[in-house]
Amino acid sequence: MTERTQTDTPGPPDPAPPVVHRPAGLTTAEVAERVARGEVNDVPVRGSRSTADIVRGNVFTRFNAIIGVLWLIMLIVAPIQDSLFGFVIIANTGIGIIQELRAKKTLDGLAVIGEAKPTVRRDGVAAEISTSEIVLGDLIELGPGDKAVVDGVVAEADSLEIDESLLTGEADPVLKRPGDAVMSGSFVVAGGGAFTATKVGREAYAAQLAEEASRFTLVHSELRTGISTILKYVTWMMLPTALGLIISQLVVKSHGFQEAVARTVGGIVPMIPEGLVLLTSVAFAIGVIRLGRKQCLVQELPAIEGLARVDVVCLDKTGTLTEGGMDVTELRTLNGADEAYVRKVLGALGESDPRPNASLQAVIDAYPDAEDWRCTESLPFSSARKYSGAAFSEGDGEDSTWLLGAPDVLLPAGDPALGEIDRLNEQGLRVLLLARAAADLDSPDVAAGARATALVVLEQRLRPDAGDTLAYFADQNVTAKVISGDNAVSVAAVAGKLGLPGAANTVDARALPTDRDEMAEALDANAVFGRVTPQQKRDMVAALQSRGHTVAMTGDGVNDVLALKDADIGVSMGSGSEATRAVAQIVLLDNSFATLPSVVAEGRRVIGNITRVATLFLTKTVYSMLLAILVVVSQVEYPFLPRHLTLLSTLTIGVPAFFLALAPNKERARPHFVRRVMRYAIPAGVIAGAATFASYLLARHHYTGPGALDAETSAATLTLFLVSMWVLAIIARPYTWWRIALVAAMGGAFLLVLVVPALQSFFALKLVGVTMPWTAVAIAAGASALLEFVWRWVGRRFPA
């Protein structure tokens, strides 16, 4: 078939196009009537916990209940000094509630900004409305990337293809025709249309799935799981230890009921790592607030932690490394085609698609529509096909069918034009092939025998921050893999311009093996992959995960949805399709790829610092249990009153932990949280407890007469404080000026208590004589030296 050019010879007028009935949708009165009947889409938007849940979750905890009972007892039988631990818990719980409410406000605000707004036709006018405003019977328009938010029946279809894989597991898109059912949660991959809502609210299919899914956490949090495991074992160990201590102090010893109760409570309270859960919640909440200020919506809190553990990040080129827009830089005709005629074809193709992608939009901007051409049939672009098409009735009555898409898909292997295309791709340019089809558009092999007519050369706009972001990942030992549906050579050129390591080794995904192990080997050996289908993206994520990698996937198009869903962490651009935003755990609302390092850094800060301070809390739990056991076995008074351990906990754990938990931390999160914490907490707690009890026993033999018990307690407190300070000094490494100042300030505060008479009296601490205090210091020094040795030995013997 030869190309024909338009002439100026007047011909018969075109027949009037058939009148197509376009449903107008509900009227305003009908909408009001349905709202009055309650037929609205009242499914709550996935978001943060309610205010009541936040208060309940922070107040009504297992350990708060234990401490609350002990606090009430102490308020009755002991001075207010021994009840300070209760006021500290109230303050800590209040801080936790306030921070989580701040995080809720941030999350809810961002969720409104990032909420998808479906287009609904009412009174014949299409307008975007909130999902919650949809009513039964509404006519909802659909285009590529749109998600069906309610169940319905197709009313209009223009080559409408819907992916239902997230609901049914069926990978192939389903071609929908008027009258076919549409399930909420499915999304459009090609074409367009409209459907009438038949089920809204909690009756919709996706709402039922969401309610089922909400019963468990969608993103695994090793941090929270680990802390829960630790607390479970602490609870079981604490119960018999506390019971033995109660019997020991109330029955065996007889120094007065009130003091026996006080010392019993003083032994039980420090066993509880009550601040650990609180500090974890605060750290997560502050992380959400910090990221919210950078227009980053964290849809599931543990996702902050998950991204910090990532060691492979898979990047989609378009929309991630490059900006969405493109520009046509050149038009090259092939096989003697007339350029003026080609421009008309391109203009008509642009007009045939009501929802053009970025490539076609560039064509529309460059070539105006040929108004005398009428589109008789269209084939929307699909990432699986890699091309779009349309059939036209030209102005002179001639019919023609045209395809526009990937040259290496439309042209047979060995075609001479492919060499020229490769050279353009090597420059980082994107090339589309315009070809005249020999078959009808609805033919399954419409691309077979297509005649190449022209090359459309597009220049992609690189994101200015993409290079720095890739450099950040390389510096942090996070491997970046560029996985794109575009031509492999073109993708490699873009990656090379941005300085991606391994960009020179590019792989055409059509040559990738299907076996998971073989695919994983190819992925480990290469960094850039082109011509990747949506299913291959999903397979690649699974292959990387099979090698033990924690995988993050970024994307913004419908072709990324399956991979985003299966990745450990899915990251979507705010301007991406509704489907990608729905399945992603993290949405970059400002569409800035440069925000990703901030998310990684925030996750690392949370995990690294919680691991750090958890060692402080659990060291206290270990030495408290050991002291209680030694007291029961030795049949002596418990050495401390609650006021002593409140002071020690505040200075060596509470205040330092708060600052350390919020400090910068760039270390990549490592697995085995429980093992890494306990390998240090157990030996540190044993050494601290043994040294303190040794100092206490020596003091019991040294002091006699009235006031001996207070002097013994003071000596033991001095030893425990010094050893705990050494634990803090180790945890605070590597040192910075503020960390040194923090440790010094805690030491200065304790010294102030020892020298100010009023504070001495308030905390019942007074060092008596010279021999025993210096003996306590010597014991603490020896214990600290042993602690330093064991700490280093454990680090070498049991590396993380």
Asked whether residue 668 carries a pLDDT value surpassing 70, the answer given is no
Same domain, 668 and 578: no
User: Are the beta carbons of 551 and 568 closer than 8 angstroms?
Assistant: yes
Percent residues over pLDDT 70 in the chain: 87
Same domain, 629 and 769: yes
pLDDT mean over 697-710 = 82
DSSP-derived 3-state class of residue 121: strand
User: Are the beta carbons of 652 and 611 closer than 8 angstroms?
Assistant: no
Backbone angles phi, psi at 529, to 5 degrees: -135, 130
Percent residues over pLDDT 90 in the chain: 16
Band of the pLDDT at 171, cuts 50, 70, 90? low
* Cα separations in angstroms, 609 against 325, 427, 433, 601: 41, 45, 54, 12
174: left (phi over 0), alpha (psi -120 to 50) or beta: beta
What's the domain count of the chain?
4
Q: How many CB atoms lie within 10 A of CB 456?
A: 24
Same domain, 638 and 768: yes
Band of the pLDDT at 187, cuts 50, 70, 90? confident
Same domain, 125 and 157: yes
Model pTM score: 0.66
- Is residue 655 a part of any domain in this protein? yes
- Is residue 259 a part of any domain in this protein? yes
Please give the Cα distance from 58 to 719 (Å, whole number).
Answer: 34
Give buried/exposed letters for 394-411 (b at 16+ CB in 10 A, else e). bbeeeebbbbbbbbbebb
Please give the Cα distance from 69 to 272 (Å, whole number).
Answer: 13
Please give the Cα distance from 594 to 464 (Å, whole number).
Answer: 9
Asked whether residue 212 carries a pLDDT value surpassing 50, the answer given is no
Same domain, 666 and 585: no
Residues 6+ apart with CB under 8 A from 11: 395, 396, 397
Please give the mean pLDDT across all residues of the chain.
81
Same domain, 775 and 631: yes
- Is residue 2 a part of any domain in this protein? no
CATH of the domain at 338: 3.40.1110.10
The beta strands (E) that lie in 108-265 are given as 119-122, 125-128, 139-142, 151-163, 174-175, 181-182, 187-199
Structural domain boundaries enclosing 483: 296-321+463-591
Among the candidates 213, 243, 278, a domain finishes at 213
Same domain, 691 and 782: yes
CATH of the domain at 558: 3.40.50.1000
- Is residue 21 a part of any domain in this protein? no
Please give the Cα distance from 790 to 793 (Å, whole number).
Answer: 5
pLDDT mean over 480-493 = 83
- Is residue 38 a part of any domain in this protein? no
Please give the Cα distance from 680 to 727 (Å, whole number).
Answer: 10
Same domain, 696 and 716: yes
Give buried/exposed letters for 165-192 (b at 16+ CB in 10 A, else e). bbbeeeeebbebeeebebbbbbbbbbbb
Band of the pLDDT at 9, cuts 50, 70, 90? very low
Among the candidates 566, 591, 616, a domain finishes at 591
- Is residue 5 a part of any domain in this protein? no
- Is residue 109 a part of any domain in this protein? no
DSSP-derived 3-state class of residue 190: strand
Catalytic residue among 138, 151, 311, 316: 316
Asked whether residue 577 carries a pLDDT value surpassing 90, the answer given is no
Same domain, 430 and 372: yes
pLDDT at position 44: 55
pLDDT at position 209: 52
Of 227, 270, 361, give the one whose Cα is nearest residue 624: 270
pLDDT at position 540: 93
Lookup: tokens for 10: 């007047």
CATH of the domain at 785: 1.20.1110.10
CATH of the domain at 193: 2.70.150.10
Can 316 be counted among the known catalytic residues? yes
User: Are the beta carbons of 185 and 43 closer than 8 angstroms?
Assistant: no
Same domain, 643 and 710: yes
Same domain, 679 and 782: yes
Among the candidates 591, 610, 640, a domain finishes at 591
Same domain, 394 and 422: yes
- Is residue 22 a part of any domain in this protein? no
